[in-house]
Amino acid sequence: MLKTENVSCGLFNERIAKRYDEASKAMFDRSALEPAVDILCELAGNGRALEFAIGTGRVALPLHARGVDVHGIELSQPMVDQLRAKDGGQQMPVTIGDMATTHIDGTFNLVFLVYNTISNLVTQDEQVQCFCNAADHLESGGYFVVEDTIPSLHKLPAGESFCAFDVPPSWI
Ligand SMILES: C[S@@+](CC[C@H](N)C(=O)[O-])C[C@H]1O[C@@H](n2cnc3c(N)ncnc32)[C@H](O)[C@@H]1O
């Protein structure tokens, strides 16, 4: 099932999508993935789960393999094309749209947004909208899990408010 809205794919165009799994290899490693899937599986319980920004299915597919009914919302059609090319990816219900505003039918025990993807929403208003959208999809007592890095602000020298970091050439 794939519902398509007229939205752009944002940063994750076809070129990036094709390289995504390889470029994010460490995040596909069992040591990174299994603890996350364990927690999400426990929180989903016997209910359904909705991944905001499902991408190529890095987390959704192993979670589904554990017996959880997983749905997704994703802005980038090229990322979903990569998901569709994987075992189990063809049948996964994914709606193309913005996770801050896209509504899908039904309610979920668990909504999750991992791998720092909340920061793809670059204004506080959009992030608040995203939390409201998660709440709209949750059953009473359900969970919204957000995984994000905590910037090392304590490493900044006094008076500095940013520090430069390296971006792999493959992402430029
Ligand atoms: C770092 S990837 C994470 C993908 C997947 N969740 C994972 O853990 O591998 C970020 C994803 O967020 C999607 N994305 C960015 N902004 C979005 C938005 N506003 N709504 C839905 N998806 C979005 C991108 O297209 C991309 O697939």
Pick from 12, 14, 25, 28 the residue to mutate for probing ligand 1's pocket: most ligand atoms within 8 Å of its CB.
Answer: 12
pLDDT at 54 over 90: yes
Residues 130-154 as b or e (16 or more Cβ within 10 Å = b): bbebbeebbeeebbbbbeeeeeeee
Give the residue whose CA is nearest to atom 12 of ligand 1: 53
Pick from 34, 76, 137, 149 the residue to mutate for probing ligand 1's pocket: most ligand atoms within 8 Å of its CB.
Answer: 76
* CA 107 to each of CA 33, 42, 63, 110, 133: distance values in angstroms, whole numbers, following the listed order: 25, 17, 18, 9, 11
Contact 59, 34 (CB under 8 A): no
pTM of this prediction?
0.88
Confidence band, pLDDT 50/70/90 cuts, at residue 162: confident
Residues β-bridged to residue 138: 108
Confidence band, pLDDT 50/70/90 cuts, at residue 10: confident
Residue with the bigger pLDDT between 2 and 12: it is: 12
pLDDT at 6 over 50: no
Q: What is the mean pLDDT of residues 53-66?
A: 98
Q: What is the mean pLDDT of residues 6-34?
A: 90
* Residue 158 CA, ligand 1 centroid: distance in Å: 34
Is the CA virtual torsion 149, 20, 28, 167 positive or negative? negative
Each residue of 128-146: pLDDT tens digit?
999 999 999 999 999 999 9
What is the predicted pLDDT for the residue at 163?
75
Each residue of 83-123: pLDDT tens digit?
999 999 999 999 999 999 999 999 999 999 999 999 999 99
What is the predicted pLDDT for the residue at 165?
75
Give the residue whose CA is nearest to atom 25 of ligand 1: 76
